[in-house]
Amino acid sequence: MEHSFRRYFWFSVDHKVIGIQYFWTSLFFFFIGGLMALLVRWELAQPGLTFTPDQYNQFFTMHATIMIFLFIIPMLVGAFGNYAVPLMVGTFDMAFPKLNALSYWLVPPGALIIMAGFLAESGTAKAGWTSYPPVALQGGAGQMLWLLGVFVLGWSSIVGGMNFLVTIMNMRTKGVHYFRLPLFVWAIATTAVLAVLGTPSLAAAVTLQFMNIAFGFPFFDAAKGGNPLMWQHVFWFYSHPAVYIMILPAFGIVSEIIPVFSRKPLFGYRALVYATAGIGVLSFLVWAHHMFASAMFPWLRIPFMLTTMLIAVPTGIKIFNWLGTLAFGKIRLETPMLFSLALVSMFVIGGISGVFLGSVPVDLHLHDTYFVVAHIHYVLFGGSAFAIFGGIYYWFPKMFGRMLNESLGKIHFWLSFIGFNVAFLPMHAVGALGMPRRYADYDIAFTELNLTISIGAFLLGFAQLILIYNMLRAFQVGKVAPANPWNARTLEWLTTSPPPHYNFEEPLTVDHDPYDYGRRISSPEALPVPGD
């Protein structure tokens, strides 16, 4: 198999090549989105204005847009999902390889369309990633480019989601029934359902808003008889499930890593499967908790508050079962495990703050303050991004055939963990004290806390340079990865690192569970072997 670097810059229908294309594209936009975040924190380090309010609005809008649509979702689903799922179910490729390629090649044009907004006379989108009217309706060409780019990226999610579902349902190798699927595969399957069912709602919403701006249709313009509240309903019907599109694959990664580095079977496998499905169902029933402070019918707040509290139950099952897996295990604190443990602890903090925001009386005080910013970052950075880092250290040997340096990995972890908490933990206090988000300037009373937050943000940003150095170093002098460096039990570790074109030399026959660590494994030969 040809492993030349340039093959990743051309069209391919090999799921592994597509996964790596997603990987590098997502990583590139991670640093672009991170740069936008640092510009925001540079502005907020001290009272007074460094940038104009209009520029500041563009920075935070593009930061969130890039991190959600061009980093977290493409990395978790596009990179790790595309690369690992066919290997984990024991097949040679995705069900529809050409559609798989299409799902990736919709991402670069969608990204370019969004970024082209910076070239517009009025600048790029500046209404936040939620794009609420009436501010969004005043955005001009930059806002229309943002809407068009999001529309294109939405089609990428829909096409990819359908492909994952067909692959998982129809292309499992012999012996891999549904309750022998790894939890990461279950997470991707649930995520695919959310994408296929929810993304059309986003596509409809951005189409209507585009027509509102470009052609004067009054869908969301109250001055012309439209209803701005309708945008919030249609947008959040997708965008709250999108939070779980960003976190369920992260949970799946943690469910893969913790048993491997605890040397124990995953505690409560079926409960975790049902919890994953339960989160998927409930994610469509909570969208209006983002709208407690809006003009929706007051009686609607109670059922949405209850469903918001209810979704904590399957999430709590996951936390409990991960802790059960860790209990009395032979824990190895290698870098993938450190990031997984960080996710568990950070997501608990994000979940607790979510309970506050899910309570109507409390939310009315905290709505649109920095408490909300702290909550979403503990969920999506402390959760999704830490899982991504753990997944990089875990699957990098399989994807690229080289081992990352463990010492550099631990430095990356600790600087990221410390920088993250210095940046986002004080935001709870700032928000509770009443500082609103999305303001370019603030009262002098918040100076010390904001300076602390900015220092933490720059430390967090610096830590990611260590990750890049570690990867570049691995390509130059990194140890050649064996087929199964972690002594794991799932099927992707049965083939070479990286795998050959069709993944496995022979069709596999599987006769064990994916987390069957009950017996001692001394070598890869003790794992299931290819069958007839």
Confidence bin at 150 (pLDDT 50/70/90) = very high
Distance CA 156, CA 499 (A): 26
Tens digits of residue pLDDT in 205-223: 999 999 999 999 999 999 9
Tens digits of residue pLDDT in 301-321: 999 999 999 999 999 999 999
Distance CA 360, CA 290 (A): 10
Q: How is 381-447 classified by DSSP, letter by letter? A: IIIIIHHHHHHHHHHHHHHHSBPPPHHHHHHHHHHHHHHHHHHHHHHHHHHHTTPBSS-S---GGGH
Say what the pLDDT of residue 521 is: 43
Angle between helix 140-170 and helix 97-105 axes, rounded to 10 deg: 160
C-alpha distance from residue 30 to each of 35, 70, 74 (Å): 9, 8, 11
Mention every residue, 6+ apart, whose C-beta is less than 8 A from residue 451. Answer: 45, 46
Let me know: does 346 contact 317? Beta carbons within 8 Å. no
Token output for 520? 């001692």
- Tell me the one-letter amino acid at 110: G
- Tell me the one-letter amino acid at 36: M
In this predicted structure, the answer to whether residue 130 has a pLDDT above a threshold of 60 is yes
Q: Could you tell me which CATH class the domain 11-506 is placed in?
A: mainly alpha
In this predicted structure, the answer to whether residue 3 has a pLDDT above a threshold of 60 is no
What φ, ψ does residue 174 adopt, rounded to 5°? -60, 130
Q: With H, G, I as helix, E, B as strand and everything else as coil, classify residue 509.
A: strand
Say what the pLDDT of residue 2 is: 43
- Tell me the one-letter amino acid at 9: F
Say what the pLDDT of residue 137 is: 95
Let me know: does 484 contact 87? Beta carbons within 8 Å. no
DSSP alpha helix (H) spans, 383-405? 386-400
What rounded mean pLDDT belongs to the chain? 94
Angle between helix 140-170 and helix 53-65 axes, rounded to 10 deg: 10
Say what the pLDDT of residue 523 is: 40
Distance CA 30, CA 48 (A): 28
Confidence bin at 528 (pLDDT 50/70/90) = very low
Say what the pLDDT of residue 525 is: 39
Tens digits of residue pLDDT in 467-520: 999 999 999 999 999 999 999 999 999 999 999 999 998 889 998 899 998 655
